[in-house]
Chain A
Amino acid sequence: SQQGEEDPQALSIQEGENATMNCSYKTSINNLQWYRQNSGRGLVHLILIRSNEREKHSGRLRVTLDTSKKSSSLLITASRAADTASYFCATGNFGNEKLTFGTGTRLTIIP
């Protein structure tokens, strides 16, 4: 069954605003990752946060992880048109070789 569910499914904001996407999952995880997929392209890894971490930053990206709520959020600050893409969370679970991807949030940045 699907592990990650992103929320919202779609998000449109003005350039320069911040974008927040959420991911909820069901079972204990080893780590949680966020990926970006531009239209017609493959997925690109953005950031990985381990189960013992609560927050991580990378440039304009900020990821939080709340294992008690089984949720994570991805914040993109000062959005740009080039941030328009689908964003997926993926969970790595203990005792399992694979990553399980969520349903994705389609982000549109309006110039």
Chain B
Amino acid sequence: ELKVEQNPLFLSMQEGKNYTIYCNYSTTSDRLYWYRQDPGKSLESLFVLLSNGAVKQEGRLMASLDTKARLSTLHITAAVHDLSATYFCAVDPARTTSGTYKYIFGTGTRLKVLA
């Protein structure tokens, strides 16, 4: 069974601190996606990681992908309250074999940044 697990599920951190969210997946996928969801809102695309070793940064967030380890990380630098949201990673393993884009989402990490 395909699993996409995120760690931690809940994260409460102080402003100004650094932290990393981990996303492990159990099958081959050459792409990985990170999304942000604010309460009551839809999903906002943050990063698209297209290959092994890919690293992308936007503001205080940096994402990386290791396809051999089946691991992606989302690193938060000097957190601010506006980053409070739920973060999801997603893979599309079916694309590797059949060309379809069928996302499987991770469990989600609910981040709360305390002032």
A and B interact: no
